């Protein structure tokens, strides 16, 4: 079993209070794939330009990553530059150069068309639809999106929502999408748009999952210092989908555990610039951090009924 | 056993997207006492003016509330008026009239001086110190504070921190106090200021507790609609301290359960204007909401080690 991800690959220039890196490997597909590969092999569907550095390419050349769907197009690779505020809670985009990504029309080869597990990362919902239309047996399709599409291509996005089982979205975007100011009301409103489950990403506050009969919250895994929050959401998606697809079934139990693995994987990304944190991840450390979430959240109310007057 | 709370009582005028109420009972001591009384009797040390309405007084006249420390002074009662933003995440203070509260100098009578459980609600740290100096056997002292004192009376506040076991503080205040932009780093920095434990209140994201060897997170209890967030933090403190003092010992287990009861009690307050939500609280509903937190947070990682490649 594998997961196919359709998303962006690019070269990011990132400035945070911890420092600055220039033209490092980035893009939603990179973060997703490098997280999900710890659970299942991942096929990457994306486009880069002929200037895509050999070093960035090598970073993706891993036995568990299938790059047969990676198109190299004449021209320059997608570039993004962003600067984070002092508390890293907001960021300003200084520059977006779509380059070859502007004309990206994902074409899945026969092997990829039969993918059953597909992640539609944050790209134009028109492209997300084109991908869906090429799939012969889409059993578990998850998607992400962002403000830009919520405002610019709302109708197209709402069509996608009817065709995906789980939507991953961040807190502010969920509120903007639904017009609900309480996040958990926004989550429930999203369920009426199509997805049977929605996962709300809350940054340093963790994430929660809302299903028809399931509400599960998970805190972020605290780390010593946040170096760069870029890609944390896509990494969460990789950990979540990777764990879920590996478990094979969507149940109350597997969905809960998947959220925990999403939070765990995201904690590795923010520890370093770009995808660097994901390269140091050891199996034992994933398990250790997942266990730490148990310790952070468990409690007992045994006999506390007698506390009350 | 009882808890003594020293704080404000006032008449609040509150405007939220859900409506407006004028001159309703408010103040940190009111919210704290009306929450904590579900666990233990509470003695209220505060001041009101001769204009304090009979209705507000009656709201506090409950078998579990001791009002012997409530001073009635010639003059007007403290008044506050605030307006919340559409998403209720920010509020603007339109009016603060300290009135008799301006010259409040808490004097504890003999019965109160022997209190062992004391909550120093958010008041001038100079007054918090005067209270501490009057206590003959302060075994479990908790305190709260706010930005105003962090900036205006920092030295006095730092002296208080050396004399309290647990500090309750909200997220932004913890960051401002310590200069740390990551909340959990701020929490750890606070431990070096004196308190052995700090509880960080995070509004709709719940709360977490940081001790020397304990980190526990608890989500907010989701409710259908937030009517008025005023007093949620003081209510949390009442539920937390009430449950903790009732359990009698500070252990890993009791601290965790106390955070859960803090979140549960806060969920009642935000459901209605002012303290109104706290009046409808039934014992069974407290237990039901506490149980719901278990369902929202529990998960199992059994056999998930095999998920990882």
- Annotate A257-288 with b (16+ C-beta within 10 A) or e (fewer): bbbbbbbbbbbbbbbbbbbbbbeebeeeebbe
Q: What is the ipTM of this complex?
A: 0.94
Helix (H) or strand (E) holding A233: helix A232-247
In chain B, which among 196-225 make CB contacts under 8 A with chain A? Answer: 202, 204-206, 208, 215-219, 222, 225
Write down the mean pLDDT value for chain B: 96
Residue B53 CB coordination number (10 Å) = 14
Q: Contacts of residue A243 in chain B, CB cutoff 8 Å?
A: 304, 307
In chain B, which among 150-189 make CB contacts under 8 A with chain A? Answer: 175, 181-185
Mention every residue, 6+ apart, whose C-beta is less than 8 A from residue B304. Answer: A243, A247, A257, A261, A287, A290
3-state secondary structure of A77: coil
- Annotate B203-237 with b (16+ C-beta within 10 A) or e (fewer): bbbbbbbbbeeebbbbbbbbbeebbbbbbbbbbbb
Which residue in the set B184, B293, B304 is minimally distant from A290, CB to CB? Answer: B304
Residues in chain A, how many? 309
Closest among B258, B216, B219 to B237, alpha carbons compared: B258
| Sign of the alpha-carbon dihedral angle for B226, B232, B238, B239 | positive
pLDDT of residue B143: 97
pLDDT of residue B309: 77
pLDDT of residue A153: 96
pLDDT in tens, A85-114: 988 888 999 999 999 999 999 999 999 999
Closest among A129, A293, A110, A299 to A219, alpha carbons compared: A293
Threshold 0.80, pTM exceeds: yes
pLDDT of residue A300: 95
Mention every residue, 6+ apart, whose C-beta is less than 8 A from residue B83. Answer: B15, B16, B91, B92, B94
Residues of chain A with pLDDT under 50: none
Helix (H) or strand (E) holding A265: helix A252-269
In chain B, which residue's Cα lies nearest the Cα of A288? B305
Touching check for B90 and chain A: CB below 8 Å? no
Mention every residue, 6+ apart, whose C-beta is less than 8 A from residue B258. Answer: B239, B240, B241, B243, B244, B247
CA distance B178 to chain A (A): 13
Asked if A216 and B299 come within 8 Å (Cβ–Cβ), the reply is: yes
Asked if B308 and A38 come within 8 Å (Cβ–Cβ), the reply is: yes
Residue A239 CB coordination number (10 Å) = 28
**A216 φ, ψ (degrees, to nearest 5):** -135, 130
Burial zone of A32 (CB within 10 Å; 0-12 exposed, 13-18 middle, 19+ buried) = buried
Mention every residue, 6+ apart, whose C-beta is less than 8 A from residue B45. Answer: B4, B5, B6, B7, B29, B69, B70, B106, B108, B112, B131
Both structure tokens of A249: 């079934």
Q: Contacts of residue A283 in chain B, CB cutoff 8 Å?
A: 308-309
Mention every residue, 6+ apart, whose C-beta is less than 8 A from residue B171. Answer: B183, B200, B201, B202, B203, B205
- pLDDT tens-digit profile, chain B (309 residues): 899 999 999 999 999 999 999 999 999 999 999 999 999 999 999 999 999 999 999 999 999 999 999 999 999 999 999 999 988 888 999 999 999 999 999 999 999 999 999 999 999 999 999 999 999 999 999 999 999 999 999 999 999 999 999 999 999 999 999 999 889 999 999 999 999 999 999 999 999 999 999 999 999 999 988 999 999 999 999 999 999 999 999 999 999 999 999 999 999 999 999 999 999 999 999 999 999 999 999 999 987 888 887
CA distance A302 to chain B (A): 9
Q: Using an 8 Å Cβ cutoff, are B75 and B101 in contact?
A: no
Asked if A297 and B297 come within 8 Å (Cβ–Cβ), the reply is: yes
Touching check for A298 and chain B: CB below 8 Å? yes
pLDDT of residue A86: 86
pLDDT in tens, A38-55: 999 999 999 999 999 999
| Sign of the alpha-carbon dihedral angle for B160, B164, B168, B170 | positive
- Annotate A44-79 with b (16+ C-beta within 10 A) or e (fewer): bbbbbbeebeeebeebbeeeebbbebbeebeebbbb
Both structure tokens of B294: 């278990």
């Amino acid at each position: 079993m594998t997961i196919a991800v359709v998303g962006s690959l690019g070269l990011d220039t990132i400035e945070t209070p911890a420092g600055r890196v220039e033209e490092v490997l980035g893009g939603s597909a990179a973060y997703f794939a490098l997280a999900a590969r710890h659970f299942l092999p991942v096929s990457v569907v994306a486009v880069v330009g002929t200037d895509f550095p050999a070093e960035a390419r090598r970073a993706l050349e891993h036995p568990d990553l299938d790059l047969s769907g990676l198109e190299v197009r004449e021209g320059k690779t997608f570039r993004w530059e962003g600067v984070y505020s002092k508390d890293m809670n907001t960021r300003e985009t200084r520059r977006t150069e779509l380059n070859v990504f502007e004309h990206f029309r994902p074409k899945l080869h026969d092997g990829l068309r039969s993918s059953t597990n597909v992640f539609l990362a944050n790209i134009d919902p028109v492209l997300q639809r084109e991908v869906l239309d090429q799939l012969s047996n889409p059993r578990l399709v998850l998607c992400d999106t962002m403000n830009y599409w919520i405002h610019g291509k709302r109708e197209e996005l709402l069509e996608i929502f009817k065709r995906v089982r789980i939507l991953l979205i961040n807190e502010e975007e969920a509120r903007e999408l639904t017009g609900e100011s309480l996040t958990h009301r926004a989550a429930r409103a999203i369920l009426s748009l199509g997805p049977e489950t929605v996962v709300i990403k809350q940054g340093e506050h963790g994430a929660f999952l809302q299903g028809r009969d399931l509400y599960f919250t998970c805190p972020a895994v605290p780390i010593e210092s946040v170096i760069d929050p870029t890609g944390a959401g896509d990494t969460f998606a990789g950990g979540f989908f990777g764990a879920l697809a590996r478990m094979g079934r969507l149940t109350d139990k597997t969905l809960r555990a998947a959220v925990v693995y999403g939070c765990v994987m995201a904690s590795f990304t923010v520890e370093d610039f770009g995808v660097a944190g994901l390269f140091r991840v050891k199996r034992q450390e994933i398990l250790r951090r997942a266990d730490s979430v148990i310790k952070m959240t468990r409690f007992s109310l045994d006999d506390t009924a007698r506390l009350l007057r």
